[in-house]
Structure 1
Amino acid sequence: MPFARPLCNGVQGAALAWLLAFGGAAHAATPAIIPLPAQMKVEQGSYTVTNVVAIHVGPGDRPAADAARYLAELLGRTRGLSLTVIEDAAATSRGGIVIRSDAAASVTQAEGYVLDVDARGMNIRARDAAGLFYGAISAWQLLTPDGAQGAVAVPYMHVADWPRFAWRGFMLDSARHFQSPDEVRRLLDVMAQHKLNVFHWHLTDDQGWRLEIRRYPQLTQIGAWRQPPGEGAKPYGGYYTQAEVKDIVAYAATRHITVVPEIDMPGHAQAAVASYPDVGVTGERPAVSIDWGVNPYLFNVDEHSITFLHNVLDEVMELFPSTYIHVGGDEAIKNQWQASAAVQARMHALGIKDENALQSWFIERMGQYLAQHGRRLIGWDEILEGGVPPSASVMSWRGTQGAIDAARLGHDVVLSPAPTLYLDNLQSARSDEPAGRVSFQTLASVYRFEAVPAELSAEQAKHVLGAQANLWTEYVTAPWQVEHMAFPRLDALAEAVWTPVNERHFDDFVARLPAQFDRYQRLGITYADSAFAVDMQAQRSAGAGNKAVVSLVTQVPSGTIRYTTDGSLPVAGSAMYREPIKVTLPVTINATSFAADGHALARARTHRFDAQTLASIDSSAMEACPKGGLGLRVRLLPDATDPAPVYNVDIMDSCWIVPKVALDDASAIVIDGAWLARNYGLAGDASKVVSRAAHTPLGEFEVHLDRCDGPLMVSLPLPAAAAPGRTFRVDGTWLALTGTHDVCVLSTAPIHGPLSAVGRVSFISPATAGATP
């Protein structure tokens, strides 16, 4: 094997793993453990596990028995193996699979384990229960190296493994969109299979209060429900009873996951103030917000409001035994405090100089209260403003600077920076991606994240607890989408926070993913294959009307692209893509990428190319106008759960660039549009929304050539009956032009009402009239 080389620090090198997975051997040959162990040495030979193999644990060894039962259950679900768990005094001398607590295990780090496979079987040892559990997870992965069922051969090996960081987290936002208890437990299960150990649960925000508080029942009677925009929309909401929360926390604990609740304060308080106006600043009762973003409502700073929140925290601490309680602290715009005479008098009495310092005082009151109960406060990095409270730990989301500043001041930090670790960002520009934020965070960008900022000294770096990925759900409305946005990017994050930094190699990680995809399929996880899906782009051949050249590409250049043009789905023996394909229009191409063993890395994508589709562009392929940004991909209605339709929009400027359109034969233009909810809390940025003069009651789509200030080609009045959730089509005559041009579409619709959006722009030629998509 020309790429074989000595093991680097006990871990197989990237080149060897790549060769095994994609260069001529089945991906099963690579020990496909994710996250990659700290040390792993593979030997010659293998041990075969069949249904006659038992899992042995010692008598009274509860942690080992729990890990063994979980391993047996997982293998039954994913490999069809039915392994019996046997408790006996001679467990350590048995063959088969042995799991045991061992105070003398060679790995001394918390959560670490040792796993050995030899001719007698598999042996897992650890000093603590978490280590045994993670050893069992690695064993499960070794026993599911592919999608096959039944007996499996595991190579001889020695693994000594432990995590790099103690905080390996994932945050789920249940305040914006509610997930059922079963959906939360399902997510916890998959987290555990990635050796992630902190579930940060975002439970309150302007758009919903999701946690039952017995002392304040209106928090869920009122605060858990909102009235969405759109004709005939029903109230949206839901909440977790205290019994459900206790069950979820206990379920997580059996999988060695700590649940850290987030109760937002002093901002993001609108749902709470809607429930109890007396804890707000103005005394008025707002509706529970339907607006994503930054809303103005704050908690008051009087003793009544402080006591209210202490009482809430009492019940939160009853439910969540975690050391840390997250209090938010982010995006608290201070307008209400600034405008309140009572708040200003309170500041004066306390000797507080400004509203940022008042927030620091407020957060410190919460931190002191939690400390009195043996807990610790953690908040987003805005709590650094006005002076960081002495008791606080900081979660850095506005990049990494907050973590750097806090660590230098001696505070513990968790890295969770946007946009890299914000999984509501889309994974690719593909048109089949769902709604989300259009700041593309690829599998590779998440994998390459480094949790310890280079600016920190070795001593300061000790304050880095770890990192977590966040899944905000303004645009993530359904369980399938939670899974699509999370996986496999959570695999990448898991390796970034577990594996030693010098052993992380993206190519090696990619080589281990096919086996993980097989596991996901067995578990019914709706993971994203965006990194391996084939994108297709066509360009007409100059001077040949029905000839074109089609290029195929994947985001991760792994495996082999194969395609068909006869309507069939590609298989391992289909034509291999080597260079752009010369085609005669019309043509339909099906394509996907394959590992060398014939394992499909993504589902096949289909694209029909003809004169009309080449002159029809949907919003996913459009570009932002100068000084703008198509930053969001949204659905027709904010709470819709279907994958499509979706629209790329710039909520500050309704403007789109349609790039490089061949206009030689165009005689008409058709724009498919939609009226969307304008449900965005913009705070101080509301005045920056671009308004344009309209010439009809609901405005127009103005279409300009080459530039947004270029020649006006056509003005298409927008239709009446503007209401969120309605689609429409407008069309007009297009003047004869030649060549390829950019086209700019501007909306002049009023900015105080539904948001007009472009879904697709089509240029019609005489030959394709009536064939608009």
Structure 2
Amino acid sequence: MKKSMLLLAVFLSSLNALQAQKLDIIPKPVKIQQKEEVFIIPSSVQIIVDKKIQKSADYIGNNFLKNTGIIPAVSIGNKHKKNTILFLVDEKMNLPLDGYELSVTKKGVRVKGKSSNGVLNGFQTLLQICSAKEVQKGTIPVVKIQDYPRFEWRGMMLDVSRQFFDKQTVKNYIDWLAAHKMNVFHWHLTDDNGWRAEIKSMPDLTLKGAWRGPGEVLLPSYGSGNKRYGGYYTQDDIKEVVAYALDRGVSIMPEIEIPGHSRAVTAAYPEIGCVTTQETKSVQGEVKNVWCVGREENYQILDSIIREFTEMFPFDYIHVAGDEVNRANWEQCAKCKALMEKEGYTDTFQLQNYFFKRVEKIVEKYNRKTAGWNEILKGGEINPNTEIFAWQGISYGIESAKKGHPTIMIPGQFTYFDMAQSENERGHRWAAITDTKRVYSFEPIPENDLTSEQQKLIKGVQGALWSEYLDRPTRFMEYQSYPRISALSEIAWSKKEDKNWDDFYGRLTNSHLQRLVNMGIAFRDFPPSATYKSGIITVTQPYEGAVVRYDAQGNEPTILSPLYINPIETKSYEQYLFRTFFNEDSVSPAVKVEKLPIASWNTSQVKTLTISENISENIDKNGIWYLTFNPTTDAVTSGIVRTVSLFENDKLIQTYPEEKTLKSKPRLRFLIENYNEKNNYRLNFIVDNKEAKESSARVNFNCSPYQEPEVKVTSSMTENPKFPLSKLEDYNIETYLRTDVPCVSGDWILYTFTKPVVSFKIDVLTGIPHHPRFIVNDGYVEYSYNGVDFEKGDSYEYGNATIFPKQAVKAVRITITGTNNEPILAAQDLKIYP
């Protein structure tokens, strides 16, 4: 009897394994029915492609081969034969335009789409099924899928101005979007730092405006260095890429940055800009980067540019930008002031509105519609058909929809992929720290703020990858894009009620990361977590089967570093770094070892929490310790922290009585000078949650790896009052110096210590933290043991230099030997190792 029961259990287990065969489709389909049977792909399988999509036949055949290893015979037709794979357009299907049905039986496969793009979407699902981890190669599980997108606009923008990406790279990017059922590629072709599209009526836009460097009309910027840098796409290149994209179901929307962000234009054709006696700077610090609104000839120039764009791009929309316009430029321009007086305008937003109304008419003249960033809503009404891209926040999308405009949700706080993905990674931070999970959390339709009719004006969702900081490391563009675009695709396609992070993450890590590798994408893998307790480092893998490697000397782990297999016993946990490796190209950021939180709370009630924790086990040395209050999510930041006190053997070391909001993520400094393993340490603090909102946080207490000696900083350069020299004396990693002027040869910044400092290494960093902007390009660091005589140390490499003193240092000096070709210089606190 027991034997029979055992055999039955084994049988049921194997049956369940078949039934549970995971397809791991991203984005998640609307309806899916699966059986345990399979279609065995014949070695000489025939693919039949409907005549209506025959332009995509080569694409279908080639990608089927890549994903299955089987060479298909591709023919044009619409008859479904046994053991064939049929791709059919059926415009009478009762599905949205991009919808499809995928049917796999033991006798063959049929993909039927409402449109050619619908068929291609079904094809992408078929490829994903063939490449799912649990699907046996050469077979396709029997399945029936009915699927269609939530949004008609599923887009992604790539900036090719700050960094130039060649034609093949752009094609690859389009392939990757198509694989995720994204249907709009927003090509940001022009900006201050380069004009990338050939315009035959204005050849200098690319002959001059596509290049920067010594002797060029554009200065070096964003890592391009002291060499000629740039490039552009000929009109034939662009037409080739447009056709390539259409064969894959992707439309290309071009963007012309006007009237601001136009330094490449005014550098090539100075007469297009305003004539002013006083230079004003844009938000990025650029000068002379705005079209003159009062110069009538400029509208004839715009007409010719837009005409040539419409000849290259068949898409319905031309994006004309309108963001971050330095309107102060117009206030200094005689022609713009005269136009304002003639029209009776009282502010420059009205002048901006005048400009865009004229641009709209030019676009309409060529049978296209206008799109722009949300700033173009200011200053007056515009054409209700103009599509608004709400980038500054969700509230701007709400405003746009309420004004009756078709609206694309592209808030920087969730969908700007130039944002850093963690606190210690390269990237912008002005909108948010945006990892894949945060992207996935975005909901594009603010239902509580819009009527049902207004909600219909939210046409879709889009991501954006601005390229200021994509110059390094190699393939960083791919790292910043994926898997965040995979998450974006599910937001854009799948039903709201089907969204579930844990389910998505399971599909992503079980099969989809391997698909990204198969596509040739060097994506960002998910980092492990490493914790330290009682002399032991324990690492948690980010997902089952993840490969984690480590370095014990403070260096970033490589593919050759030791594998983490078992917990590590050590007293020097601060030196360890851990990193996930999917392969040599797709890796996670390196992470440090963290101690476990010393306290936490979670409440949604109006109440006062008095928290007292014995933290003796956490403290293990003398040094500077930082207490941080970290909200568990961005949404649970209610509450005020106050009266934070640290006691050693019941004696008060330090207290912070003032109130600090949890939203500000308080970071408090404590100095422990008399550590003894027998000492008792206690932390007390109060949390006031004054509203019935969720308040939840983890409290961490970690020793700084650096010294923080008293220092005085002086400079030859004028400081910006908002970012003064004193910011280099506070040892706060989030604060820094900005000068108010460009640096020139002979400039300097001097750090003088009150008492000489003993250190084996000092990092002397310039630029904004984590941002390679406003750095020292040409210069070196010096150090002095007596404050008078200086020895030369490292020359600056990409804004960074290091010194290795042999005795106590009295002063450190940054010496600049050339301009950095930027409007200002930034510098950071010294990192002084013990």
Calculate the TM-score normalised by the size of structure 1.
0.73
Q: Which residue of 2 aligns with 1:321?
A: 314
Q: Indicate how the Cα distance of structure 1 residues 113 and 698 shifts in structure 2: closer, same or farther if over 3 A, else same.
A: same
Query: Counterparts of 2:674 and 2:282 in 1: how far apart (Å)?
Result: 46
Please give the residue correspondences for 1:228-627 in structure 2 after superposition, counting only pairs within 5 Å: 228=220, 233-282=226-275, 292=284, 295=287, 297-301=289-293, 302-391=295-384, 392-430=386-424, 433-437=425-429, 439-454=432-447, 455-477=449-471, 480-514=475-509, 515-529=511-525, 532-538=526-532, 541=534, 548-553=535-540, 558-559=543-544, 575=565, 582-583=569-570, 585=572
Q: CA deviation at 1:378?
A: 0.8
Write the deviation string for residues 541-574 of structure 1: whole angstroms up to 9, x where unpaired. Answer: 5xxxxxx3324356xx643778689999999x98
Q: Which residue of 2 aligns with 1:544?
A: none
Query: Counterparts of 1:118 and 1:49 in 2: how far apart (Å)?
Result: 11
Which of 127, 132, 136 is the aligned partner of 1:140?
127
**Contact 2:255 2:319 (C-alpha < 8 Å) held by counterparts:** yes
Please give the residue correspondences for 1:603-752 in structure 2 after superposition, counting only pairs within 5 Å: 688-692=722-726, 698-700=749-751, 725=799, 727-729=801-803
Q: Which residue of 2 aligns with 1:178?
A: 164
Query: Counterparts of 2:157 and 2:823 in 1: how far apart (Å)?
Result: 34
Which of 76, 80, 83 is the aligned partner of 1:95?
83
Q: CA deviation at 1:689?
A: 2.8
Q: CA deviation at 1:330?
A: 0.5
Q: CA deviation at 1:38?
A: 1.5
Name the SS of the counterpart of 2:833 in structure 1.
Answer: strand
Q: Which residue of 2 aligns with 1:632?
A: none
Q: CA deviation at 1:232?
A: 7.3
Q: Which residue of 1 aligns with 2:192?
A: 206
Q: CA deviation at 1:759?
A: 7.6
Write the deviation string for residues 202-223 of structure 1: whole angstroms up to 9, x where unpaired. Answer: 1111111111111111111221
Q: Which residue of 1 aligns with 2:28?
A: 36
Query: Counterparts of 2:578 and 2:381 in 1: how far apart (Å)?
Result: 54
Calculate the TM-score normalised by the size of structure 2.
0.68
**Contact 2:256 2:320 (C-alpha < 8 Å) held by counterparts:** yes
Query: Counterparts of 1:296 and 1:34 in 2: how far apart (Å)?
Result: 45
Q: Which residue of 2 aligns with 1:112?
A: 99
Query: Counterparts of 2:380 and 2:240 in 1: how far apart (Å)?
Result: 38
Q: Which residue of 1 aligns with 2:140?
A: 154
Q: CA deviation at 1:669?
A: 5.3
5+ residue gaps, structure 2: 1-12, 213-218, 553-557, 595-619, 630-665, 676-703, 710-718, 730-746, 758-784
**Contact 2:193 2:264 (C-alpha < 8 Å) held by counterparts:** yes
| Paired residue type of 1:135 | G
Q: Indicate how the Cα distance of structure 1 residues 43 and 67 shifts in structure 2: closer, same or farther if over 3 A, else same.
A: farther
Query: Counterparts of 2:62 and 2:178 in 1: how far apart (Å)?
Result: 14
RCO comparison, higher one (Cα < 8 Å, 6+): 1
Name the SS of the counterpart of 1:382 in structure 2.
Answer: helix
Name the SS of the counterpart of 1:300 in structure 2.
Answer: coil
Q: CA deviation at 1:314?
A: 1.3
Q: Which residue of 1 aligns with 2:740?
A: none
**Contact 2:420 2:429 (C-alpha < 8 Å) held by counterparts:** yes
Q: Indicate how the Cα distance of structure 1 residues 136 and 622 shifts in structure 2: closer, same or farther if over 3 A, else same.
A: farther
| Paired residue type of 1:480 | R
Name the SS of the counterpart of 1:214 in structure 2.
Answer: coil
Q: Indicate how the Cα distance of structure 1 residues 353 and 591 shifts in structure 2: closer, same or farther if over 3 A, else same.
A: closer
Q: Which moved more, 1:231-240 or 1:518-527?
A: 231-240
Q: CA deviation at 1:390?
A: 2.2
Q: Which moved more, 1:225-234 or 1:300-309?
A: 225-234
Q: Indicate how the Cα distance of structure 1 residues 185 and 158 shifts in structure 2: closer, same or farther if over 3 A, else same.
A: same
**Contact 1:670 1:729 (C-alpha < 8 Å) held by counterparts:** no
| Paired residue type of 2:399 | D
Query: Counterparts of 2:706 and 2:407 in 1: how far apart (Å)?
Result: 58
Query: Counterparts of 1:511 and 1:560 in 2: how far apart (Å)?
Result: 12
Query: Counterparts of 1:480 and 1:160 in 2: how far apart (Å)?
Result: 36
**Contact 1:570 1:590 (C-alpha < 8 Å) held by counterparts:** no
Q: Rg: which structure is higher?
A: 2
Query: Counterparts of 1:298 and 1:616 in 2: how far apart (Å)?
Result: 56
Write the deviation string for residues 417-470 of structure 1: whole angstroms up to 9, x where unpaired. Answer: 01210000122235xx44554742011111121111231111001111101000
| Paired residue type of 1:168 | R
Write the deviation string for residues 125-177 of structure 1: whole angstroms up to 9, x where unpaired. Answer: 123111111111111111111399x8333322210111111110000001111
Q: Indicate how the Cα distance of structure 1 residues 527 and 389 shifts in structure 2: closer, same or farther if over 3 A, else same.
A: same
**Contact 2:516 2:523 (C-alpha < 8 Å) held by counterparts:** yes
Q: Indicate how the Cα distance of structure 1 residues 186 and 270 shifts in structure 2: closer, same or farther if over 3 A, else same.
A: same
Name the SS of the counterpart of 1:262 in structure 2.
Answer: strand
Q: CA deviation at 1:80?
A: 1.9
**Contact 2:182 2:250 (C-alpha < 8 Å) held by counterparts:** yes
Q: Which moved more, 1:656-665 or 1:197-206?
A: 656-665
Q: Which residue of 1 aligns with 2:660?
A: none
Name the SS of the counterpart of 1:398 in structure 2.
Answer: coil
Q: Indicate how the Cα distance of structure 1 residues 703 and 755 shifts in structure 2: closer, same or farther if over 3 A, else same.
A: farther
Q: Which residue of 1 aligns with 2:827?
A: 756
**Contact 1:249 1:258 (C-alpha < 8 Å) held by counterparts:** yes
**Contact 2:317 2:369 (C-alpha < 8 Å) held by counterparts:** yes
Paired residues, what number?
648
5+ residue gaps, structure 1: 1-19, 542-547, 625-655, 672-684, 706-713, 736-744, 764-773
| Paired residue type of 2:128 | Q
Q: Indicate how the Cα distance of structure 1 residues 689 and 362 shifts in structure 2: closer, same or farther if over 3 A, else same.
A: same
Q: CA RMSD in A?
A: 4.8
Q: CA deviation at 1:29?
A: 2.3
| Paired residue type of 2:26 | I
| Paired residue type of 1:468 | Q
Q: Indicate how the Cα distance of structure 1 residues 94 and 437 shifts in structure 2: closer, same or farther if over 3 A, else same.
A: same
Name the SS of the counterpart of 2:413 in structure 1.
Answer: coil
Query: Counterparts of 1:604 and 1:101 in 2: how far apart (Å)?
Result: 44
**Contact 1:81 1:151 (C-alpha < 8 Å) held by counterparts:** no
Query: Counterparts of 2:581 and 2:299 in 1: how far apart (Å)?
Result: 59
